[in-house]
Amino acid sequence: MDKLRAVARGSNKRYNHSMTQQALELLQKALTLPEEERTALVRSLIESLEEVADHGAERAWDEEISRRIADLDSGRAKTVSWDEVRQRISARLAHER
Protein backbone atom coordinates (compact mmCIF):
# COMPACT_ATOMS: atom_id res chain seq x y z
CA MET A 1 0.00 0.00 0.00
CA ASP A 2 2.90 2.35 0.71
CA LYS A 3 4.11 1.89 -2.86
CA LEU A 4 0.66 2.84 -4.16
CA ARG A 5 0.64 5.95 -2.01
CA ALA A 6 4.08 6.91 -3.31
CA VAL A 7 2.89 6.50 -6.89
CA ALA A 8 -0.21 8.55 -6.17
CA ARG A 9 1.94 11.33 -4.69
CA GLY A 10 3.97 11.34 -7.89
CA SER A 11 7.22 10.14 -6.37
CA ASN A 12 7.69 7.38 -8.94
CA LYS A 13 8.65 9.13 -12.17
CA ARG A 14 8.51 5.85 -14.07
CA TYR A 15 4.74 5.91 -13.81
CA ASN A 16 3.94 9.56 -14.28
CA HIS A 17 6.73 11.39 -16.10
CA SER A 18 4.60 12.06 -19.17
CA MET A 19 1.14 12.38 -17.63
CA THR A 20 -0.95 15.51 -17.72
CA GLN A 21 -2.29 16.91 -14.48
CA GLN A 22 -5.69 15.44 -15.33
CA ALA A 23 -4.16 11.98 -15.84
CA LEU A 24 -2.23 12.26 -12.57
CA GLU A 25 -5.42 13.15 -10.73
CA LEU A 26 -7.18 10.15 -12.27
CA LEU A 27 -4.24 7.95 -11.27
CA GLN A 28 -4.40 9.20 -7.70
CA LYS A 29 -8.12 8.39 -7.54
CA ALA A 30 -7.65 5.00 -9.22
CA LEU A 31 -4.94 3.99 -6.76
CA THR A 32 -7.39 4.41 -3.89
CA LEU A 33 -9.68 1.73 -5.34
CA PRO A 34 -9.64 -1.81 -4.01
CA GLU A 35 -7.37 -4.21 -5.94
CA GLU A 36 -10.27 -5.92 -7.71
CA GLU A 37 -11.60 -2.60 -9.04
CA ARG A 38 -8.11 -1.46 -10.09
CA THR A 39 -7.70 -4.72 -11.98
CA ALA A 40 -11.02 -4.22 -13.78
CA LEU A 41 -10.04 -0.64 -14.63
CA VAL A 42 -6.69 -1.74 -16.04
CA ARG A 43 -8.35 -4.40 -18.17
CA SER A 44 -10.83 -1.87 -19.51
CA LEU A 45 -8.06 0.57 -20.39
CA ILE A 46 -6.03 -2.11 -22.14
CA GLU A 47 -9.09 -3.27 -24.09
CA SER A 48 -9.69 0.31 -25.18
CA LEU A 49 -6.17 0.40 -26.62
CA GLU A 50 -6.61 -2.92 -28.37
CA GLU A 51 -9.64 -1.52 -30.19
CA VAL A 52 -7.37 0.92 -32.02
CA ALA A 53 -4.80 -1.73 -32.88
CA ASP A 54 -3.23 -1.55 -36.31
CA HIS A 55 -5.04 -4.22 -38.29
CA GLY A 56 -2.24 -4.24 -40.83
CA ALA A 57 0.18 -5.15 -38.06
CA GLU A 58 -2.15 -7.88 -36.82
CA ARG A 59 -2.38 -9.31 -40.32
CA ALA A 60 1.41 -9.16 -40.69
CA TRP A 61 1.87 -11.02 -37.39
CA ASP A 62 -0.67 -13.65 -38.43
CA GLU A 63 1.26 -14.16 -41.68
CA GLU A 64 4.58 -14.34 -39.82
CA ILE A 65 3.20 -16.89 -37.37
CA SER A 66 1.85 -18.98 -40.24
CA ARG A 67 5.23 -18.80 -42.01
CA ARG A 68 7.08 -19.88 -38.88
CA ILE A 69 4.71 -22.81 -38.29
CA ALA A 70 5.15 -23.88 -41.91
CA ASP A 71 8.95 -23.66 -41.49
CA LEU A 72 8.76 -25.87 -38.41
CA ASP A 73 6.39 -28.37 -40.05
CA SER A 74 8.55 -28.64 -43.17
CA GLY A 75 11.80 -28.99 -41.24
CA ARG A 76 13.30 -25.75 -42.64
CA ALA A 77 13.49 -24.37 -39.10
CA LYS A 78 15.41 -26.29 -36.48
CA THR A 79 14.45 -26.20 -32.83
CA VAL A 80 16.81 -26.08 -29.87
CA SER A 81 16.10 -27.65 -26.49
CA TRP A 82 15.74 -25.42 -23.46
CA ASP A 83 18.77 -27.11 -21.87
CA GLU A 84 20.90 -26.16 -24.87
CA VAL A 85 19.61 -22.60 -24.85
CA ARG A 86 20.47 -22.28 -21.15
CA GLN A 87 23.96 -23.63 -21.79
CA ARG A 88 24.50 -21.15 -24.62
CA ILE A 89 23.31 -18.25 -22.48
CA SER A 90 25.51 -19.32 -19.56
CA ALA A 91 28.52 -19.67 -21.83
CA ARG A 92 27.93 -16.26 -23.39
CA LEU A 93 27.51 -14.59 -20.00
CA ALA A 94 30.67 -16.27 -18.68
CA HIS A 95 32.58 -15.11 -21.76
CA GLU A 96 31.41 -11.48 -21.34
CA ARG A 97 32.67 -11.20 -17.77
CA distances to 24, 36, 41, 53 from 30, in Å: 10, 11, 8, 25
User: Are 58 and 44 contacting, i.e. CB atoms less than 8 angstroms apart?
Assistant: no
Task: Specify the long-range contacts of residues 48-57, CB closer than 8 Å, at least 24 apart.
Answer: none
| Domain count within the chain | 2
Q: What is the pLDDT of residues 2-59, one digit of tens each?
A: 555 555 555 555 555 678 889 999 999 999 999 999 999 999 999 888 777 677 888 8
Is there a single domain that holds both residue 77 and residue 41?
no
User: Are 15 and 7 contacting, i.e. CB atoms less than 8 angstroms apart?
Assistant: yes
User: Are 68 and 75 contacting, i.e. CB atoms less than 8 angstroms apart?
Assistant: no
Is there a single domain that holds both residue 44 and residue 67?
no
Is there a single domain that holds both residue 46 and residue 9?
yes
Is there a single domain that holds both residue 6 and residue 43?
yes
**pTM given for the model:** 0.41
Distance CA 61, CA 18 (A): 30
Distance CA 11, CA 28 (A): 12
Is there a single domain that holds both residue 43 and residue 8?
yes
Q: What is the pLDDT of residues 46-66, one digit of tens each?
A: 988 877 767 788 889 999 999
